[in-house]
Amino acid sequence: MKIRRHLKDYAADRIAKKVADSVIEKVKSFVNVKNIHHGTDEGSKYIRQWEEYKGRKAKGCANIGCSNHDAYEALEGAHVKKVGSDDGSWYITPLCHSCNSSKNDDDMTVCEDDLAPYEKIKDL
């Protein structure tokens, strides 16, 4: 009986560690970005290029502070730069119209996996 309880405790600890490791990896993968080209007419073109490059559909606004996470029909391919980084590259990420508007000068937090290098997708 003690062995069975010990094995259950051991299994529970292993599962908890895997979950914690997974959460830590996801938190590490977030990055702050700033919009650099506010709302262009070509936003839907950049979404198509982003989806082709990533091999998946954009599911919603990538800004984790936004409430439009499920608003696919309003997505635009936004030009962003990483904040506080020496990386001067431009990236495309899916943002809703509100987050991609010229009135939004706030830093946004996105998953790094939602960034596509502009130089790699601009000619797709």
Residue 7 pLDDT exceeds 80 = no
Task: Say if CB 62 and CB 69 are below 8 A apart.
Answer: no
Q: What local confidence, expressed as pLDDT, does residue 23 receive?
A: 53
Residue 54's pLDDT band (boundaries 50, 70, 90)?
A: very high
Q: What local confidence, expressed as pLDDT, does residue 112 receive?
A: 92
Domain definitions of the chain by residue range: 30-121
Task: Say if CB 92 and CB 78 are below 8 A apart.
Answer: yes
Q: Which residue type, as a one-letter code, is found at position 89?
A: S
Residue 56 pLDDT exceeds 70 = yes
What is the distance between the alpha carbons of residues 68 and 97, in angstroms, rounded to a whole number? 9
Q: What local confidence, expressed as pLDDT, does residue 121 receive?
A: 85
Give the strands of the sheet with 91-96, arranged side by side: 108-111, 30-37, 75-82, 91-96, 116-117
Q: Residues 68, 102, 63, 112: what is their CA dihedral angle, to the nearest 10 degrees?
A: 150
Residue 37's pLDDT band (boundaries 50, 70, 90)?
A: confident
Residue 33 pLDDT exceeds 90 = yes
Residue 48 pLDDT exceeds 80 = yes
What is the distance between the alpha carbons of residues 105 and 54, in angstroms, rounded to a whole number? 26
